[in-house]
Amino acid sequence: MAEQRKAEPAFQVAVVGSGPGGYVAAIRAAQLGLRTAIVEAAELGGICLNWGCIPTKALLRSADIYRTLKQADSFGLKTGEVGADLKAIVARSRQVAGQLSGGVGHLLKKNGVTVIRGRAQLDGPGRLAVRGEKGTESLAAEHIILATGARARTFPGLEADGEHIWTYRHALKAETLPKSLLVVGSGAIGIEFASFFHTLGSQTTVVEVLDRILPQEDAEISALMAKSLKRDGMTLHTGTTVEKLEVRDGGVVATLARDGKQHQVTAERVLLAVGISPNSANLGLEGSKVKLDRGHVVTGPFGVTGEPGVYAIGDLTAPPWLAHKASHEGVLAAEHIAGVKGLEPLDPLRIPGCTYAHPQVASVGLSEDKAKAQGHAVKVGRFPFIGNGKAVALGEAEGLIKTIFDADTGELLGAHMIGAEVTELIQGYAIAMGLETTEAELIHTVFPHPTLSEMMHESVLDAEGRALHF
Amino acid sequence: MPIDVLMPALSPTMTEGKLARWLKAEGDPVAAGDLLAEIETDKATMEMEAVEEGTLGRILVPEGTEGVAVNTPIARLLAEGEDAAALDAEPAQAGPQPPPSPQAETPAAKDDAPKGASKAPRPAPGPATPPADRSRVFASPLARRLAARHGIDLAALSGRGPRGRILKADIEAAVEAGGTAPQPAAGKTQAEAPETPQADDPLLFGLPPHEAKPHSSMRRTIARRLTASARDVPHFSVAIDVDLDPLLRLRADLNGRIADKADRISVNDLIVKATGAALVAEPRCNVAFTEAAILHFSRVDIALAVALDDGLITPVIRDVPAKSLSTLHAEARRLAEKARAGKLTPEEYSGGTFTISNMGMFGVKSFTSILNPPQGGILSVGAGERRPVVRGDELAVGTVLSLNLAVDHRCIDGAVAAAFMARLKGLIEDPITLML
């Protein structure tokens, strides 16, 4: 029985990566009674908790308070001189991330998930090779969930040096506030950092290759965001490419091109936020039947891949690349493995997206343009924050809630919001879409007064031409 | 002693309802038959009639109250001369129970009731009755709207959502499958749905140009129920001719005393009356077959087939033998009018222990009907015709009516069917006995 000497624990599920997809998948698998392991090479909680969603929210909270303090007069408050200490702000952000990462470890332990430190790769059917500090060990698992996420995307010539040219990782640990910042890319990450640094006092410029910022959002929302940022003094270059970045005299000279015409912009720091690259290399996929599309793992319903027993979830797979999408996919994959009946695949159109800048942006479903492109005759409702009592009382009278219905069936196709706290409001519409409500049920729903949520009601009313307060 | 008014069961499956509105106020005099309140179930709003008379002493359940269990006291009536102080007496817990609704003992009488509903929810007194209306269809608002638009019967669909909830995708699949195919009931997947004849169906090849009219919900129900009946019920029919002249004479005599033409008794009213009496005399034909037992009904509730522009429906006259001819006439007329206006309540078209289908007015000599499950029998009535008849040994001319009785052989045998028909013939040919 010499073979059994090296017998390793056989797991029913092994999850590779402990981000919001992986750790949630592991907890769900354990809840379903499956012997579960999770392999992590860095901090528990992945990018989201440590280098993404959470620490940026901590930073933006500081920025929001700073902005509010500067307006204290308008609320009848006296504050004396207000200042921002970037080091302390960053320290708080790191503390928040650390606290939550510890929380993930606790949750995994509580659910009986075995945490294995190291880098895993597929090593034949039902087997992972895990490279850890003490060398490589083999891990047997009936099912493997790949949840290795993604990292910042870079292009040749547009590479971060960590000093003058940053990715989000560097920006999250910034030690001094740059006098000027050039943000390349205007997706959620780019706009959130632009908003943070600009609020704290960096003269900020955003470059976007497409014709509008937040290009994944409804065009009307993008336009309102652009208007708001410009009014706050931010410079936006849309339809513009970055040809060259040169570090010179302690700053960066960026060569930008628009319509074939070049011009140069100098900034103390540059932040690259041009998308993500999936972490699909060095996973041992080459010898497997797992298929890739531009680096992302191709999956079927519930995260199944071409390789039997191997699942993939989150940023490693198809868009949208959002933490809550990864978590939901993790749950579905675990339940599929456990044979839970009646599972429904995730509908990407029902995944809300949020940008936590000032103002906030949140949306779910189809934009107006996409709805029309898909052949829907639409009814569009709009309600501005200026018409809402709570918004005016909060001193947040800027923003819009836009709803899009199929004119024929009354189906809620999409909702798009910009303004204070809209990221907390969007789930109301997500529930409505999930339950397939029509305008009628939303109209008959009572919204509490005075709340920002009343605007959600009014927007639906407006789609029917019967808004009450505007 | 004040009389407790109890929450009524307005449909076979009702265990609770909403007291939508009081139509009388405290202190109002109440006569039997007065409309007391509006009761709302998940299917319809219905009016509740007072059974007793007196004064509405106290309303116990305020209007707008949801989830009022059947048989809960909802108000107290003061009898004539009774003092209001009597209202504070202990509610009569074991107070007058309404007669058990006959449907409570029938098996899944309604086509949309799932199997197993034959264990009819026994109305239990007290408010603790669990909601048990299993015929409720769960569907998203959008699915409901789309189903209505496409004329799809939600009850015929199985939903892919949580707990069988019907979603937009289910409706789209049903539309895709021809817009008309009833999807299999719960338990089967979409993939097992029967194929619907499509334009490329060889059966449809070579047909002249046609317009395909999607099925209405009623058409779908007719198709499903009658297919099941014709396929699953071993049936036969028994035919007799009856001499209609005595009944016509009686009718003429009666109608001579009725001034208002609209109130005059029809041949059909008399046949309903005679059938009711025959079922009382031959209760072995007032039955229904279930897998476990033959149900012998203690009351005769006769369903009348009413033709509509786009289908038919069978409203029910309850307790026919207990009703006078004028009451039967009024009720039949009221139900037929409501049926044609599409305003029948579920209570009015569900249940029934026996069915009569009359095509006499169309000049049909004789026909047979498909059984209306779970009822054991259905009587088909043709036209009274002047035909040569043999009286004694003489050939004469008389008015003759052909009757066909179709029965479910599982619960009604040939001799029983014959005995019933003999009894019916006797009553029609000697109709004065109906007055007994």
Q: What is the pLDDT of residues A403-425, one digit of tens each?
A: 999 999 999 999 999 999 999 99
Range in A307-316, B84-93, B376-385 the model is least confident about: B84-93
- Whether residue B129 is predicted with pLDDT greater than 60 in this model: the reply is no
Asked if A344's CB is within 8 angstroms of B149's CB, the reply is no
Chain A hits for B170, Cβ within 8 Å: none
Asked if A85 reaches chain B (Cβ–Cβ under 8 Å), the answer is no
Q: Quick one: A15 and A143 in the same domain?
A: yes
Compute, in degrees rounded to 10, the torsion defined by CA atoms A262, A263, A266, A272: -40
Q: So what's the pLDDT on residue B130?
A: 40
Residue B402 lies in a domain: yes
Number of Cβ atoms within 10 Å of the Cβ of A135: 8
User: Is residue A314 a contact partner of residue A351, using CB atoms and an 8 Å limit?
Assistant: no
Q: So what's the pLDDT on residue B35?
A: 83
Q: Quick one: B240 and B382 in the same domain?
A: yes
Residue B23 lies in a domain: yes
Tell which wins on pLDDT, B207 or A366: A366
Sign of the CA dihedral A153, A158, A161, A162? Answer: negative
Final residue before a domain boundary, out of A256, A274, A292: A274
Asked if A438's CB is within 8 angstroms of B167's CB, the reply is no
Output the domain CATH number for residue A72.
3.50.50.60
Range in A214-228, B121-135, B261-275, B386-400 the model is least confident about: B121-135
Q: Quick one: B71 and B35 in the same domain?
A: yes
Q: Quick one: A382 and A401 in the same domain?
A: yes
pLDDT tens track for B256-296: 999 888 899 999 999 999 999 999 999 999 999 988 899 99
Q: Quick one: A147 and A100 in the same domain?
A: yes
Chain B hits for A436, Cβ within 8 Å: 140-143, 167-168
Residue A102 lies in a domain: yes
Q: Quick one: A364 and A381 in the same domain?
A: yes
Final residue before a domain boundary, out of A286, A307, A338: A338
Q: So what's the pLDDT on residue B89?
A: 61
Output the domain CATH number for residue B329.
3.30.559.10
Chain B (137-176) residues lying within 8 Å, Cβ to Cβ, of chain A: 140-143, 145-146, 149, 160-162, 167-168
- Whether residue A265 is predicted with pLDDT greater than 90 in this model: the reply is yes
Identity of the residue in B140, B146, B149 whose CB atom sits nearest the CB atom of A435: B140
Got the DSSP string for A309-358?
TEEE-GGGSSSP--HHHHHHHHHHHHHHHHT-TT-----GGG--EEE-SS
A436, A437, A442: best to mutate for the B interface, most B CBs within 10 A: A436
Q: Quick one: A251 and A287 in the same domain?
A: no
> What domain count does chain B have?
3
Q: Residue A299: phi, psi to the nearest 5?
A: -125, 155
Q: Quick one: A71 and A53 in the same domain?
A: yes
Identity of the residue in B146, B161, B162 whose CB atom sits nearest the CB atom of A409: B146
User: Is residue B101 a contact partner of residue B351, using CB atoms and an 8 Å limit?
Assistant: yes
Residue B383 lies in a domain: yes
Mean pLDDT of chain B: 81
Q: Could you tell me the two tokens for B252? A: 């003429």
User: Domain residues for B75?
Assistant: 3-98
- The type of residue at B206 is G
Scan for tokens 């007290």, then name that residue: B126
User: Domain residues for A26?
Assistant: 7-152+277-338
Range in A162-176, B262-276, B333-347 the model is least confident about: B333-347
The percent of residues above 70 in pLDDT, for chain A, comes to 98
> What domain count does chain A have?
3
Identity of the residue in A342, A344, A440 whose CB atom sits nearest the CB atom of B141: A440
> Is the backbone peptide bond immediately before A348 cis, with ω within 30 degrees of 0?
no
Q: Quick one: A42 and A118 in the same domain?
A: yes
Q: Could you tell me the two tokens for A94? A: 């790191």
The DSSP output letter for B201 is -
Tell which wins on pLDDT, B248 or B58: B248
Q: Quick one: B247 and B289 in the same domain?
A: yes
- Whether residue A50 is predicted with pLDDT greater than 70 in this model: the reply is yes
- Whether residue A292 is predicted with pLDDT greater than 80 in this model: the reply is yes
Asked if A344 reaches chain B (Cβ–Cβ under 8 Å), the answer is yes
Q: Quick one: B144 and B269 in the same domain?
A: no
**pLDDT mean over A361-378:** 97
Q: So what's the pLDDT on residue B21?
A: 86
Output the domain CATH number for residue B178.
4.10.320.10
Identity of the residue in A342, A344, A436 whose CB atom sits nearest the CB atom of B168: A436
- Whether residue A334 is predicted with pLDDT greater than 90 in this model: the reply is yes
The DSSP output letter for A202 is -
Asked if B145's CB is within 8 angstroms of A410's CB, the reply is yes
Please state the pTM of the whole predicted model.
0.60
Residue A2 lies in a domain: no
User: Is residue B56 a contact partner of residue B25, using CB atoms and an 8 Å limit?
Assistant: yes
Beta-carbon contacts of residue B21 (< 8 Å; ≥ 6 apart): B37, B38, B63
Residue B206 lies in a domain: no
Whole-angstrom distance, CA of residue A350 vs CA of residue A358: 24
**pLDDT mean over A391-403:** 97
Residue A350 lies in a domain: no
Q: Quick one: A284 and A148 in the same domain?
A: yes
pLDDT bracket for residue B316 (50, 70, 90): very high
Q: Quick one: B179 and B93 in the same domain?
A: no
Q: Quick one: B220 and B239 in the same domain?
A: no
Scan for tokens 């608002």, then name that residue: B141
Q: Quick one: B387 and B291 in the same domain?
A: yes
Asked if B162's CB is within 8 angstroms of A436's CB, the reply is no
- Whether residue B194 is predicted with pLDDT greater than 50 in this model: the reply is no
Q: Quick one: A34 and A124 in the same domain?
A: yes
Output the domain CATH number for residue A426.
3.30.390.30
User: Is residue A21 a contact partner of residue A317, using CB atoms and an 8 Å limit?
Assistant: no
pLDDT tens track for B40-55: 776 567 778 887 888 8
Output the domain CATH number for residue B56.
2.40.50.100
Q: So what's the pLDDT on residue B118?
A: 39
Q: Is A188 marked within a binding site?
A: yes
Range in A131-145, B157-171, B367-381 the model is least confident about: B157-171
Q: So what's the pLDDT on residue B26?
A: 85
Q: Quick one: A309 and A412 in the same domain?
A: no
Residue B67 lies in a domain: yes
Range in A3-12, A79-88, A329-338 the model is least confident about: A3-12
Closest-CA residue in chain A for B159? Answer: A342
**pLDDT mean over B355-365:** 92
The ipTM estimated for the assembled molecules is 0.75
Q: Quick one: B160 and B287 in the same domain?
A: no
Residues of A designated catalytic:
449
Asked if A435's CB is within 8 angstroms of B146's CB, the reply is no
Whole-angstrom distance, CA of residue A337 vs CA of residue A32: 10
Residue A107 lies in a domain: yes
Q: Could you tell me the two tokens for B225? A: 């129920």
Residue B156 lies in a domain: yes
Closest-CA residue in chain B for A433? Answer: B142
Q: Quick one: B181 and B253 in the same domain?
A: no
**pLDDT mean over B169-186:** 66
B267-281 vs B325-340: helix crossing angle, rounded to 10 = 110
Q: Quick one: B309 and B337 in the same domain?
A: yes
The percent of residues above 70 in pLDDT, for chain B, comes to 81
pLDDT bracket for residue B100 (50, 70, 90): very low
Q: Quick one: A146 and A287 in the same domain?
A: yes
Asked if A445 reaches chain B (Cβ–Cβ under 8 Å), the answer is no
For chain A, state the CA radius of gyration: 24
Q: What's the length of chain A?
A: 470
Compute, in degrees rounded to 10, the torsion defined by CA atoms A76, A79, A84, A88: -110
Q: Is A434 marked within a binding site?
A: no
Whole-angstrom distance, CA of residue A166 vs CA of residue A160: 5
Q: How far apart are the first and last CA of chain A?
A: 81
pLDDT bracket for residue B186 (50, 70, 90): very low
- Whether residue B110 is predicted with pLDDT greater than 60 in this model: the reply is no
**pLDDT mean over A334-347:** 92
Asked if B140's CB is within 8 angstroms of A436's CB, the reply is yes
Q: So what's the pLDDT on residue B69?
A: 83
Distances (CA, A) of B406 to A288, B230, B296, B418: 69, 11, 18, 11
Final residue before a domain boundary, out of A338, A368, A391: A338
Q: Quick one: B226 and B244 in the same domain?
A: no
Whole-angstrom distance, CA of residue B75 vs CA of residue B377: 40
Compute, in degrees rounded to 10, the torsion defined by CA atoms B194, B197, B198, B203: 140
- Whether residue A28 is predicted with pLDDT greater than 90 in this model: the reply is yes
Mean pLDDT of chain A: 94
For chain B, state the CA radius of gyration: 25
Range in A39-43, A139-143, A184-188, B345-349 the model is least confident about: B345-349
pLDDT bracket for residue B131 (50, 70, 90): very low
- Whether residue A2 is predicted with pLDDT greater than 70 in this model: the reply is no
Distances (CA, A) of B257 to A63, A70, A295, B251, B435: 95, 97, 95, 10, 16
Whole-angstrom distance, CA of residue A193 vs CA of residue A187: 10
Residue B125 lies in a domain: no
Q: Quick one: B191 and B73 in the same domain?
A: no
Residue B165 lies in a domain: yes
Q: Could you tell me the two tokens for A276? A: 């993500």
Query: Shortest Cα distance from A402 to chain B (angstroms)?
Result: 20
Q: Quick one: A236 and A384 in the same domain?
A: no
